[in-house]
């Protein structure tokens, strides 16, 4: 294939999505010029490991698999680190970096997402931490050195994983969420109740159905006041209430925005030769900020970039919650169905299987497995592929 500079593929973002596209494209085309642009150091690490690094007994620097130099060599690609794309000149097929244009033949937006923040009052609100990158995690680990108690805002996937990791490391953890059950976007309520009981048995205090009213400094640490008036003392406050796809760069360029950067099933945006995937992208109207969807999308997009137009076809993709206190595997249903529940054994503490069926034709729509019931994951994935339990 041609190595002319006009064939250059520019990838904005060096997270799992960006680097996986580059790696898969390089397998298909040894010569196409690839340039990746990173706002950080451009090192490769698995972002999901941030929420269980303590249990793995790993320091932040040990989470880096390959530094930017190693990635350059592996991919035979350019990695421009510590640089931000200021804008996209769609008609000129250029991205502007520090005022200088870089031409692309094809542009991939793998921008990721920002940590959501809720507005908080109190003189300690500005000290509330979020962890959305390795740099954030370095700061977080420094702050919890010598700390004993952590107040954690958000009982979603990341919040629950962090809570479990911190509890295993010996911290006193209080997990706060306005929903009635943890993992409320993934689990039906009865399964969420079982998950909450498992966390409670492992010493993680849950304050569910409660929002944070204020965070105030005290002589040592913070007072976190809930909307019911309860005050929780904590040495460190961590917010993990979800992610917001990074869409500003695409919107400025006039690309269509949905809940993320809107793409079709081929990861194509509304602008010619511009693609998007990962946490920033709404592929056919759906953002899927999990590992398996990113990997499937990256492989398909790499083939498209190599000249073989390839649709992203997502198989059944379970979400695994890394929470040893309550091992959990979920395939969220894509449509409304009827849930039925079965204990994993005669002992209600062993776990729970929740199965979601279409109300009329009994098609398998999804499932949630907790505790010992997770052993049935493979059989249920197979059942979902055929459409019935």
In-domain check, residue 320: no
Q: Which of 186, 221, 239 is the last residue of a domain?
A: 239
Angle separating helix axes 189-201 and 157-168, nearest 10 degrees: 20
Are 180 and 157 in a shared domain?
A: yes
Q: What is the DSSP letter of 62?
A: G
Q: Which helix (H) or strand (E) holds 190?
A: helix 189-201
Looking up tokens 């899927």, which residue turns up? 288
Q: For the chain, how many structural domains are there in total?
A: 3
**Residues 189, 258 within the same domain:** no
Let me know whether 138 and 202 are in one domain.
yes
Q: What is the pLDDT of residue 386?
A: 77
Note whether 192 and 208 are same-domain residues. yes
Q: Is residue 310 part of a domain?
A: no
My answer on whether 110 and 122 are in the same domain is: no
Domain boundary among 182, 210, 239: 239
Q: What residues does 27 pair with on adjacent strands?
A: none
290 and 348, same domain (yes or no): no
Structural domain boundaries enclosing 74: 5-114+243-305
pTM: 0.94
Residue 84 lies inside a defined structural domain of this protein: yes
Residue-by-residue DSSP string for 150-162: EEEE--SHHHHHH
Give a yes or no: residue 317 inside a domain: no
Residues 339 and 190: beta-carbon distance below 8 Å = yes
Question: CA triplet 85, 86, 87: central angle to 5 degrees?
Answer: 95
CATH of the domain at 374: 3.30.390.120
Rounded distance, CA 175 to CA 157, Å?
A: 12
Are residues 341 and 166 in contact, defined by beta-carbon separation less than 8 angstroms? no
- Residue 80 within a domain: yes
pLDDT of residue 49: 95
Angstrom distance (rounded) from CA 31 to CA 2: 7
Looking at the DSSP assignment, which residues form a beta bridge with residue 233?
Answer: 223
Residues 200 and 294 in one domain: no
Task: Give the whole-angstrom CA distance, residue 128 versus residue 117.
Answer: 9
What are the beta bridge partners of residue 103?
A: 94
The encoded tokens of residue 126 equal 């500005």
Contact 226, 176 (CB under 8 A): yes
311 in any annotated domain: no
- Domain match, 230 and 282 both: no
Decide: 214 and 151 in contact? Cβ < 8 Å. Answer: no
Residues 67 and 204 in one domain: no
Residue 334 confidence (pLDDT): 85
pLDDT at position 203 is: 96
CATH of the domain at 283: 3.50.50.60
Residue 292, domain member (yes or no) = yes
Q: Is residue 60 domain-shared with residue 102, that is, in the same domain?
A: yes
Containing H/E element for 189? helix 189-201
Which helix (DSSP H) or strand (DSSP E) does residue 144 occupy?
Answer: helix 134-144
| Whether 280 and 338 share a structural domain | no
Query: pLDDT truncated to tens, each residue of the chain (389 aa)?
Result: 334 567 999 999 999 999 999 999 999 999 999 999 999 999 999 999 999 999 999 999 999 999 999 999 999 999 999 999 999 999 999 999 999 999 999 999 999 999 999 999 999 999 999 999 999 999 999 999 999 999 999 999 999 999 999 999 999 999 999 999 999 999 999 999 999 999 999 999 999 999 999 999 999 999 999 999 999 999 999 999 999 999 999 999 999 999 999 999 999 999 999 999 999 999 999 999 889 999 999 999 999 999 999 999 999 999 999 999 999 999 999 888 999 999 877 776 788 999 999 888 888 899 999 999 999 999 999 888 876 66
Structure tokens at 41: 């150091």
pLDDT of residue 4: 55
| 225 plus 247 within the same structural domain | no
Is 36 part of a structural domain of the chain?
Answer: yes
């Amino acid at each position: 294939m041609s190595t002319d500079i006009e064939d250059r593929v520019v990838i904005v973002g060096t997270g799992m999505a960006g680097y996986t596209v580059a790696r898969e494209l390089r397998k298909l085309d040894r010569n196409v010029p690839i340039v990746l642009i990173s706002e950080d150091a451009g090192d490769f690490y698995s972002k999901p490991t941030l929420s269980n690094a303590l249990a793995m007994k790993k320091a932040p620097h040990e989470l880096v698999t390959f530094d930017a130099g190693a990635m350059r060599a592996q991919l035979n690609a350019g990695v421009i680190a510590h640089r931000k794309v200021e804008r996209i000149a769609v008609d000129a097929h250029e991205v502007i970096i520090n005022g200088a244009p870089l031409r692309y033949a094809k542009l991939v937006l793998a921008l990721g997402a920002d940590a959501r923040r809720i507005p908080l009052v109190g003189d300690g609100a500005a000290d509330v931490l979020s962890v959305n990158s390795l740099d954030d995690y370095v700061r977080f680990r420094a702050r919890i050195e010598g700390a004993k108690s952590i107040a954690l805002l958000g009982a979603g996937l990341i919040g629950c994983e962090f809570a479990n990791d911190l509890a295993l490391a010996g911290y006193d953890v209080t997990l706060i969420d306005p929903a009635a059950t943890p993992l409320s976007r993934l689990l039906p309520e009865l399964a969420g109740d079982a998950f909450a009981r498992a966390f409670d048995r492992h010493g993680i205090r849950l304050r569910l159905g409660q929002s944070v009213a204020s965070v105030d400094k005290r002589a040592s640490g913070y007072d976190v006041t809930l909307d019911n008036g309860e005050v929780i003392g904590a040495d460190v406050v961590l917010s993990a209430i979800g992610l917001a796809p990074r869409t500003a760069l695409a919107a400025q360029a006039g690309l269509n925005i949905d809940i993320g950067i809107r793409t079709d099933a081929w990861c194509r945006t509304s602008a010619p030769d511009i693609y998007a995937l990962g946490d920033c992208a709404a592929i056919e109207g759906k953002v899927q900020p999990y590992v398996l969807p990113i990997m499937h999308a990256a492989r398909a997009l790499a083939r498209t970039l190599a000249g073989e137009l390839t649709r992203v076809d997502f198989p059944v993709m379970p979400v695994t919650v890394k929470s040893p206190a309550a091992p959990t595997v979920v395939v969220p249903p894509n449509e409304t169905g009827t849930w039925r529940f079965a204990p994993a054994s005669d002992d209600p503490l062993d776990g729970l299987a929740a199965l979601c069926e279409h109300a009329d034709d009994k098609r398998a729509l999804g499932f949630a497995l907790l505790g010992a019931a997770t052993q049935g994951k493979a059989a249920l994935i197979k059942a979902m592929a055929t459409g019935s339990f």
